[in-house]
Amino acid sequence: MPQTDDLRSSRIRQARRRQLIEATIESIAKRGFAETTLSAVTAEAGLSHGVVNFHFASKEQLFVDTLGWLAEEHYDHWRRALDKAGDDPARRLEALVRADFAPTVCSRKKLAVWFAYWGQAKHRPIYLDIHNRHDAARREHLETLCAALVARSGGVGAQPERAARLLEASIDGLWLQLLLYPEGLDRKEALASAMAQLAALYPHHFEPPTAPLEG
């Protein structure tokens, strides 16, 4: 039956694409962008040499789709975290922060890949687009939630735009430190530092943690 065949074919195609994208992530993390050849990707995936051009128009398209997949995974992750957080703005903000330090999105492998893409952001507008498209919603949530906490805050907390920016900056900066000083900082301490940042911005809503947190 042709229809069934098409369905099966389509499922296989999806599976192959996914397989190749994951191999690409693996390879970028392991070898970096420049050394990630299509041979490296197909070898990683256990597939044959010429298969990439069968599922992706070009190497560049594979990279673009890989970033898209990564961005979507991240998006889905914090959206789910937010959905489970209830209605209290402080709890929602905390959930957003915690989401970024969950093992799935905050492994050293994933961080290496994120920074590999960011390292090319300036001259690859398409990467910037994909990233910003997915991140805009998160920025808005951050700002809205910061604004909701303003009432009882003085100081920086009273400037929700800056507070949101600093929150995001700290998280990104902690990610960078996780990448650059793997021995000086682990994921739990990075999370604790991020929670401390919340406490610094909104002392009426958050307590600075005194020890590393369980992520």
Which residues form the interface with its own copies (CB under 8 A)?
Answer: 29-35, 108, 112, 115-124, 128, 131-132, 155-159, 162-163, 165-166, 168-174, 176-177, 179-181, 185, 192-193, 196-197, 199-201, 203, 208
* Rounded distance between C-alpha atoms, residue 125 and residue 87, angstroms: 36
Q: Which of 122, 127, 120 is nearest to 32 (CA)?
A: 120
Q: Which does 132 bind (CB under 5 to 8 A by kind): its own copies, DNA, none?
A: its own copies
CB of 10 to DNA, least distance (A): 6
Judged by beta carbon, residue 83 or residue 215, the one nearer its own copies is 215
Give phi and psi for 58, each to the nearest 5. Answer: -160, 170
* Rounded distance between C-alpha atoms, residue 1 and residue 126, angstroms: 40
Helices (H) and strands (E) in the chain, counts: 9, 0
Q: Which does 90 bind (CB under 5 to 8 A by kind): DNA, its own copies, none?
A: none
Q: What residues between 13 and 52 interact with DNA by CB under 7 A? A: 13, 16, 35-39, 47-52
Exposed/middle/buried for 39, CB within 10 Å: 0-12, 13-18, 19+? exposed
- What is the signed CA dihedral for 27, 32, 36, 41, rounded to 10 degrees? 10
Judged by beta carbon, residue 13 or residue 133, the one nearer DNA is 13
* Rounded distance between C-alpha atoms, residue 168 and residue 104, angstroms: 19
Judged by beta carbon, residue 12 or residue 18, the one nearer its own copies is 12
Judged by beta carbon, residue 19 or residue 170, the one nearer DNA is 19
Judged by beta carbon, residue 20 or residue 192, the one nearer its own copies is 192
Neighbours of 142 (CB within 10 A): 22
CB of 87 to its own copies, least distance (A): 26
CB of 12 to DNA, least distance (A): 5
Q: Which residues bind DNA (CB under 7 A)?
A: 5-6, 8-10, 12-13, 16, 35-39, 47-55, 58-60
